[in-house]
Amino acid sequence: MLLGAEANIAEDGTIDVTPGSVPVLDTVVASVHTDLRSAKDQTARLVRAVETPGVAVLGHPKGRLYNMRTGVKASWDRVFSAAAGRGVAIEINGCPERQDLPPSLARTALGRAASSPSRATPTRGGTSTSSASPSRWRGSPASPPSGS
- Site residues (CB under 5 A) for Zn ion? 31
Q: Whole-number minimum distance, CB 32 to Zn ion, in Å?
A: 8
Nearer to Zn ion, 37 or 115 (CB): 37
In the complex, the smallest distance separating the C-beta of residue 46 from Zn ion, rounded to whole angstroms, is 14
Helix, strand, coil shares of the chain, percent, nearest 5, are 25, 25, 50
Give, as one character, the DSSP assignment of residue 138. G
The burial class, CB within 10 Å (0-12 / 13-18 / 19+), for 144 is middle
Our CB check for Zn ion shows the closer of 31 and 129 to be 31
Taking CB atoms, the residue at the shortest distance from Zn ion is: 31
Closest separation between CB of residue 101 and Zn ion, Å? 14
* Cβ within 8 Å of residue 125, ≥6 positions away: 93, 94, 95
- For Zn ion, which is the closer residue by CB, 31 or 99? 31
